[in-house]
Amino acid sequence: MSGPAASEARVGPVSPIATEAPGAPARRWRRSWYWYDWANSAFVTTTGTVLFGPYLTAVATEDACPGLAEDATCGTDLRVLGVPVDPGSVAAYTVTVATIVSAILLVFVGALADRSPRPARLLGGFAWTGALAAALMVLVTGSAWELGAILMIVATVALGASLVVYDALLCRIAHPDDRDAVSSRGWALGYLGGGLLLVANLALVSLTPFGLSTGDAVRLCLLSAGLWWAAFTLIPVLGLRRVRGLGRAAPGTGHGIVRGSLGQLRDTFLDLRRYPQTMSFLVAYLFFNDGIQTVIAASAIYAVEEIGFAESQLMALILVVQFVAFGGALLFGLIAARAGAKRTVLGGIGLWTGVVVAAYLLPNGRFLPFVALGVVIGLVLGGTQALSRSLYSQLVPADREAEYFSLYQAMERGTSWFGMLTFGLVHQLTGSYRLAIIALIVFFVVGGVLLARVDVRRGIREAGNEVPAVA
């Protein structure tokens, strides 16, 4: 017998310490674990996806061109460390810097997290640091765009660090047979939570009740995302407090946590070649995930500039994708239980390839076909990412989960710029957004081919892990 019901009693290999009856801790830990996806998705959706970019651009423009008319164009650059910067590019540059800093720092976070005796506390520390930075964006007023940029960088790095710990905890609270389902449920709950808060915040910005200005409404929305993130993080931190990490130096070292973590990190890069299937999966993931992230990031530009949709239509589509992704993540989890995570992810990559082709063929000004395409994106978005997480968890060696997930997060961020670079270069060379979007097909083709060559069962055995019934 397999599946969630069958595995509740198989808690032994999941956590080093279980002080309660077998099965009981696992159920509670899972229910607590799910809520961190719900908690952080508010920031990702409301702040990162929708409000931060336009608002920081407006604040930066006010600094460069005070009192500029609404439809006028600012022709004055800002100065950042003596370098001229167009105010319209400040948000993009901020995200780029945050991404690069994350890629550098996160590899150290994993080594530290694996050696932390109480990973839930570490999760809370990172999460609440990010939530505080996110909430403090309410203070970004007038022309104080520098404060907004700094806070966004801090929040982004803290989010990435918390996700390293969070993803690694999946290995400690779920049996290998159950990780696809558990990961999918967490991802689905995240889309639901992020979507609900986004609906409320878009209503606040659109209606501006109580005599609020649009700027005041946006700042309250930014505050709400930080408070939501902080409040709901309490559930996983308290619920997972009994889950233990290593809390000791690696055998033969005798160093403290920080110094030992650096040594462990060095060993990881040296040892990664001992796990060729794990390394092959990472390379495949970098390609197809870069394609996914680029399609999502470029969709707004493509919809407005090429297809000719209004921003209100774009907002409606974002909400459609958000709520459809809730069901899509759950659906992919059910499919993976029968077909295996690898086959299901490959199917998802095939659908992403179809999405790119359909976007290229999409007629101008036709909203319903674009909505249909958004539904497909929603179905495949959460499922592909959730199953990639659970599949990778099977391929990392025991007791080094956070360290390997730090590579997962860091490498994702370290290469996430390549897709957008490709999109931008193709558009610059051809003047066509359609050719730019179809060019992204190469990321899915290459990623799919590389993933197809990964021997999952062999990789799981090489990592010393139990092979699930369906892999």
Please say if the pLDDT value at position 264 is more than 60: no
The pLDDT confidence band at residue 200, using thresholds 50, 70 and 90, is very high
Taking only the tens place, the pLDDT of each residue in 419-440 is 878 888 888 788 888 999 999 9
- pLDDT score of 317: 84
Per DSSP, which regions of 400-469 are E strands?
Answer: none
Helices within 145-275 (DSSP H only): 145-173, 179-207, 214-239, 257-271
Q: Pairing between strand 78-80 and 83-85?
A: antiparallel
**Domain layout of the chain by residue ranges:** 23-70+77-462
- pLDDT score of 265: 58
Mean pLDDT of the region 282-294? 91
Taking only the tens place, the pLDDT of each residue in 87-109 is 877 887 888 788 888 888 887 78
Please say if the pLDDT value at position 71 is more than 60: yes
The pLDDT confidence band at residue 2, using thresholds 50, 70 and 90, is very low
Mean pLDDT of the region 18-45? 78
Of the candidate ranges 158-162, 173-177, 191-195, the one whose mean pLDDT is the lowest: 173-177
Backbone torsions φ then ψ of 286, nearest 5 degrees: -60, -40
CB 434 within 8 A of CB 305: no
Phi-psi group of 362: left, alpha or beta (phi > 0 → left; psi -120 to 50 → alpha; rest → beta): beta
- pLDDT score of 137: 96
The CATH number of 23-70+77-462 is 1.20.1250.20
Report the 3 state secondary structure along 285-353: HHHHHHHHHHHHHHHHHHHHHHHCCCHHHHHHHHHHHHHHHHHHHHHHHHHHHHHCHHHHHHHHHHHHH
pTM, rounded to two decimals: 0.82
Distance CA 323, CA 379 (A): 9
- pLDDT score of 80: 81
Please say if the pLDDT value at position 364 is more than 90: no
Please say if the pLDDT value at position 260 is more than 60: no
Mean pLDDT of the region 304-321? 80
- pLDDT score of 376: 93
The secondary structure of 141-174 as a DSSP string is: -TT-HHHHHHHHHHHHHHHHHHHHHHHHHHHHHS
The pLDDT confidence band at residue 248, using thresholds 50, 70 and 90, is very low
Mean pLDDT of the region 22-48? 86
